Amino acid sequence: MRRRRHLPPPALLEIDEQTFWEKYRPIVDPAEGQAIRGPEHVANLMATTLWTIVDTGESETLYALPGCHVVNRLGYVVTERPWPHRSVVAVYSQGVAQGERQDGRST
């Protein structure tokens, strides 16, 4: 009988905020003027272009996690380009207390 081989989990790839915006191109909601949307605005969207913005509570940094998550969720971001795999974590905003720009990104 063949033994199952357990592979280690993939390494976590963390990218910075600028790379996230350049590579995946978040779409600003024209009605709200921000990139972050509520759950009611993402119900029928393709899963691979959906990111969940989360607050870890440990710092002022927000993170974008690929897919739909509920724990520590602040909202969702839809991107033009899909995420490649679930091992990507993007810094969405450094220092959320500084204020919001028109596109929903920190200043």
What is the pLDDT tens value at each position of the chain, 107 positions in all? 555 555 445 556 778 888 899 999 999 988 888 899 888 888 777 788 999 999 888 878 888 889 888 888 899 999 999 988 766 778 787 664 434 433 444 43
Other CB atoms within a 10 A radius of the CB of residue 39 amount to 12
Contact 53, 77 (CB under 8 A): yes
Query: Residue ranges of the alpha helices (H) in the chain?
Result: 17-24
How far is residue 93's CA from residue 98's CA, in Å, rounded to a whole number?
10
Q: Specify the pLDDT at position 14.
A: 79
Buried b (16+ CB within 10 A) or exposed e, 69-105: eeeeebbbbbbeeebeeeebbbbbbeebeeeeeeebb
pLDDT score at 6: 55
